[in-house]
Amino acid sequence: MWKYIVRRVIHMIPVLFILSIIGFLLMSVVLGDPVILILAGAEEGIVDPAEIERLREKMGFNRPLPVQYLDWMSHVLVGDLGRSFRLPFNVIEIINQRIPVSLELGLWSVLLGSCIGIPLGVMAAVKRESKTDYGISALAVLLHAVPTFMLGVILIFVFAVSLGWLPPSGYTSWGEDPVRHIKLMILPSVSAAGFLIGLLVRYTRATMLDVLGERYVTVARAKGLTERIVLTRHALRNAMIPVVTVMGLEIVSMFSGWVVTETIYGLPGIGRLMLDAIFGRDMPVVQGVLIYITVVVIIVNLLIDLSYAYLDPKIRYE
């Protein structure tokens, strides 16, 4: 097991290297010349050209892109992601302030998606072609089809505007007011989990239907085991491998959904930071966030692979 983990960590190095090159080049081309933004956001025709060239030379933007990349990467390797063009802070400080909010949102959305989607999928499979199955399947299709931003608007209108049960947006840290913190995180978590719930219901139902038709399930029932034990220990555990795979892929793709969710609900997370940095042409922040997201995605994929050995004892990593 440990040898496999070490190999995977070693394999991360070239992946991070390649993705860092792609991200650096894309940001350099898309965001353009950041010197104009630094000079009070003025247009190039208004600012003195000599001042522009002086600042560009001082910050190293007049050098070839390969040289700029090597200089940037040499600082990244020692934990220095540079300094923001818009804010008087280092990039790593800004990200460390924002990332706990996104991690909390991600944790709650994944927990809600798993705790709701998987049981509903099992229930739909057990009660196949019944009213319960049709109702759960219809709900899953609806949640899978509704965009994240639309679900967020609907939740705000129903629970915040119409019923007044929850605040519509904003953020309060746990240390300031735990009760308000929980209230403010409910709607964003449900909104972010909606798509995952619909996806897990459909995949769990499909895999459970395949597993319930296997012989070992029939043998388990013939032994006199209770239906709960048959479903949890024999059927569900074997059906979870493809479901966990899909969940891992969805967690990776949920980063884009968190950008929308954090923007709608006014959460100061890393997704909203990324969006603000792109609009503000803050290249160091964008590049720093890309590095963080890449590392998180690789770690999630590693954890998903390791979970296979727990779900299926026949799988061994050497």
Domain 97-311 classified CATH 3.40.50.460?
no
Q: Are 307 and 106 in contact (CB under 8 A)?
A: no
pLDDT values of the chain reduced to their tens digit, one per residue, 318 residues:
677 677 777 877 888 888 888 877 777 676 666 666 666 544 444 566 777 777 777 777 777 778 888 888 888 888 888 888 777 788 888 888 888 888 888 888 888 988 998 899 989 988 888 899 899 999 999 988 888 888 888 999 999 999 888 888 888 888 888 899 999 999 999 988 888 898 889 888 888 888 887 887 888 888 877 778 888 777 887 788 778 877 777 776 666 667 888 888 888 888 888 888 887 777 788 888 888 888 887 887 778 777 776 666 666 655
Q: What dihedral angle (degrees, nearest 10) is formed by the CA atoms of 133, 138, 144, 145?
A: 160
Alpha helices, DSSP H, located in the chain = 2-31, 35-38, 49-59, 65-76, 91-126, 131-145, 148-155, 178-212, 215-222, 227-229, 237-265, 270-279, 283-311
- Residue spans of the domains in the chain: they are 2-76, 97-311
Q: Are 208 and 236 in contact (CB under 8 A)?
A: yes
Q: How far apart are CA 287 and CA 282, in angstroms?
A: 9
**Per this entry, what is the length of the chain?**
318
The two structure tokens encoding residue 292: 């963080």
Phi-psi category of 183—alpha, beta or left, where left has phi over 0 and alpha has psi -120 to 50? alpha
Separation in Å, CA 61 to CA 74, 92, 294: 16, 21, 25
Q: Are 64 and 71 in contact (CB under 8 A)?
A: no
